[in-house]
Amino acid sequence: MEQVVAQLLQELGEGVVTPGEAVPERYWNDWAGLEPVPPAALVRPATTAEVSVCLRICNDHRRGVVPQGGLTGLAGGARPEGGAVALSLERLAGVEEIDPATATMTLRAGTVLETAQAAAEEAGFLLPLDLGARGSCQIGGNLATNAGGNRVVRFGMARDMVLGLEAVLADGTVLCGLNRLLKNNAGFDLKQLFIGSEGVLGVITRAVLRLQPRPRSRAVAFCGLRGFAEVVALLERARGGLGGQLSAFEAMWPGFYDLLTGRLAHLRAPLAGRHGMYLLLEAQGYDPAHDGARFEGFLEGLFTEGLVEDAVLARSEADIRDLWAVRDAVAEFPQILGRHVNFDIGMVIGVMDDYVRACEPRLAARFPGIRAVFFGHVADGNIHVVTDVPEGVRPQEIEAEVYDLVRRFRGTVSAEHGIGTIKKPYLGHVRSPEEIALMRRLKRSLDPRGILNPGKVIDP
């Protein structure tokens, strides 16, 4: 047995450490669809102190450590490549405290997002972070990727919900910053180093999250529009017209709508006719007696102004689920498209449709027969592109085309999933050489031996 694994076993025990050959395959990979690789060992600590011991030993042995949350990441960031030790946070789970007076929740990194949402709800609050992977992804993974999701337009990204963080540095030092104050300007805001840095600067072990009052009304409509100009005009209306209640604004280009409603037996197409764009609009409020009427009035105004061609309004919880099901059907892409590539690009909303109109023919010309669909959180400047991978084509060739066009539109190669392994070659499309040099200096300063998630995001 390797010395580092023997020492991990000796100090942490068999209940925490599983040597390489016995590690179940589920820890070999995340959702990005790369080739699975076995780790040198799997470590599953149940306390921050055990995380610290694991990192100290691996740092002494100069052995790579790959933090793992729910393994739903789409950038290859949690794959334990290069003979690294996999450090799963799944046993460091649970909500420790909900404090109604400060409206905060203190929880451990391995808590599954859905569990945290349910705990907040039970206490009369809303944890606004929400994404399709909610049943598997963990708070630690959400913060390490600065996850976005469906409610960013109202509540911001994961980063915006964090007040305090506990993290462990590469050498095992524990930084306990479980701040609950909304305002705390005493020195650098160190937690920001760990949020969105995909496990390359430290391991997140606990967090204090900000909660919102639980909404008491929810209205959802699915709209058909003539084109993208109407989507932009509708967004401007919805920001003010819904009295600050706009909570989701999800657009779908026709190729996406046709593919999903045509191929999935359980999905009913919400609208009878065909439209240039489709939009899912949601508002959440605190005045159930009047919110429904306000939403309906808003929709009627859209018809009068000619901003929507058709729309269906949810009349029940079941309707709400059915309308969201179209957008949430993205989880079925593996079934529909087989081998596919997933993009989370971003750009200002004003050029988004021009991007789609440039990208579609470019991909079709370069990869005959390719299927590409476009949808996403357009109010956040974020679109998802999903393409299949035609016979004889490498995913990297498709990526190069999509990202080259993103650079021309001055967009970003990652609006929400992170850089991980897959997008590393394209970081320079978005960040300047000076910015990347500073990222490297930070990495060297926090992790001088380069053990934390080696090979991800940036090379030292």
Contact set with ligand FAD (CB under 6 A)? 30-31, 66-74, 77-78, 89, 109, 131-133, 137-138, 140-142, 144-145, 147-149, 198-199, 203-204, 331, 416-417, 420, 453, 456
Among 43, 64, 46, which Cα is nearest to 54's? 43
Q: How far is the CB of 284 from ligand FAD (least distance, A)?
A: 17
Nearer to ligand FAD, 230 or 282 (CB): 282
Nearer to ligand FAD, 90 or 291 (CB): 90
Q: How far is the CB of 208 from ligand FAD (least distance, A)?
A: 15
Dmax over CA atoms of the chain, in Å, equals: 73
Q: How far is the CB of 304 from ligand FAD (least distance, A)?
A: 33
Nearer to ligand FAD, 203 or 211 (CB): 203
Nearer to ligand FAD, 408 or 440 (CB): 440
Q: How far is the CB of 396 from ligand FAD (least distance, A)?
A: 20
Nearer to ligand FAD, 69 or 241 (CB): 69
Nearer to ligand FAD, 78 or 389 (CB): 78
CA-based torsion, 118, 119, 125, 129: positive or negative: negative
Nearer to ligand FAD, 70 or 381 (CB): 70
Nearer to ligand FAD, 246 or 299 (CB): 246
CA-based torsion, 131, 135, 139, 143: positive or negative: negative
Q: How far is the CB of 215 from ligand FAD (least distance, A)?
A: 19
Nearer to ligand FAD, 42 or 307 (CB): 42
Q: How far is the CB of 327 from ligand FAD (least distance, A)?
A: 10
Nearer to ligand FAD, 137 or 219 (CB): 137
Q: How far is the CB of 269 from ligand FAD (least distance, A)?
A: 21
Which single residue brings its beta carbon nearest to ligand FAD? Answer: 141
Q: How far is the CB of 419 from ligand FAD (least distance, A)?
A: 9
Q: In whole angstroms, what is the distance from residue 55 CA to residue 65 CA?
A: 8
Q: How far is the CB of 51 from ligand FAD (least distance, A)?
A: 9
Q: How far is the CB of 195 from ligand FAD (least distance, A)?
A: 10
